[in-house]
Amino acid sequence: MAVNLLTKSDDYLHWRDKKLANAPTQLGDCIVEIQNPFKLSNTEKNKIIGLCQKGNFALFEIQPVAQYGEAIISINQQLGLKDFDAHLFVKTGGLAHITQSNNKDQGEFIPYTDKNIGWHTDGYYNAINERIRAFSLFCVNPADQGGVNEWIDPQMIYLLLREDNADVAKALTHPQAMSIPEHKVDGKVRRSTSTGPIFFIDEPTNELYMRYTQRKKNIEFLNSLEIKQAVEHLDALLKTNTDHHFEHLMQSGQGLLCNNVLHKRNAFTDDKDNPRLLLRGRYFNRIE
């Protein structure tokens, strides 16, 4: 991708036309059935990679296996996703178990509850050297009711915003657009303050990247009318339903592989004996 698409209009137009020509709009075209998670065929692998190049995500399906964790780690590794984020609640092999938690410490974090989670990219608070460029989400067990995921390619959101209003898109590239204060536990800093743009070119990959969250708690936008209005504009666009918004309730055996798409989760109700369980991996490199 052209490194100057944010600043050079020729580069932008070239990138925009290619993006629009290739972007998937039908979910059914984006599902890859995997026969053997421990040995992807070239066709399966190429289809996943091709979908991620065009729209930054692919859905996949596998048949029931005894150890879902091993199967997912294997799929991810075959796609080059090895460099995982070993954050607080990650278990062996880099997967976190996303399920309702009774653990008080873990239960403070919304993913481990049954609540709605607004639009966000993963790791929006991470330092540059721990930037999340891809994640996988796999459904071992859906909720009794609810828990639908929605997502949109963040590069497409940038494109749609810029087509709609170039000033809005530009405001969101301000180097101090969004800050997340440090996270302290018992007086100890677990994560330092994170300040940066919402849209920017991720230098190591030369790709347009987005860090964003709709969480209101502990998020500070730069105190300028321009940025405040731009964020409102972004949220209004996210609320609409374009051809590029996707929505899916993952069933057992289904998963999402993506280059950190902007996503949300709807609230859910669990069957107490059989709670919702998703396996999530976060990686520092992209699928490409």
Q: Which residues bind Fe ion (CB under 5 A)?
A: 122
Least gap, CB of 127 to Fe ion (angstroms): 18
Task: Return d(Cα 276, Cα 34) in angstroms, integer.
Answer: 22
Phi, psi of 122 (to 5 degrees): -75, 145
Least gap, CB of 261 to Fe ion (angstroms): 9
Residue 31: how many other CB atoms lie within 10 Å? 14
Residue where the block lists tokens 């209003």: 165
Residue where the block lists tokens 């987005």: 210
Which is nearer to Fe ion, 16 or 191 (by Cβ)?
191
Least gap, CB of 157 to Fe ion (angstroms): 16
Which is nearer to Fe ion, 37 or 123 (by Cβ)?
123
Output DSSP code: residue 135: E
Which is nearer to Fe ion, 122 or 153 (by Cβ)?
122
- Element containing residue 43 per DSSP (H, E): helix 42-55
Least gap, CB of 135 to Fe ion (angstroms): 7
Q: Exposed e or buried b for every residue in 36-70, given b needs 16+ CB within 10 A?
A: ebeebeeebbebbbebbebbbbbbbebeeeeebbe
- C-beta separation of 211 from 121 below 8 A: yes
Least gap, CB of 263 to Fe ion (angstroms): 6
- The helix/strand count (H/E) of the chain reads as 7, 19
Which is nearer to Fe ion, 161 or 256 (by Cβ)?
256
Which is nearer to Fe ion, 121 or 285 (by Cβ)?
121
Least gap, CB of 17 to Fe ion (angstroms): 30
| Strands 254-258, 134-141: pairing kind | antiparallel
Which is nearer to Fe ion, 5 or 95 (by Cβ)?
95
| Strands 57-61, 31-33: pairing kind | parallel
Which is nearer to Fe ion, 162 or 265 (by Cβ)?
265
Least gap, CB of 128 to Fe ion (angstroms): 19
Q: Which residue is nearest to Fe ion (CB)?
A: 122
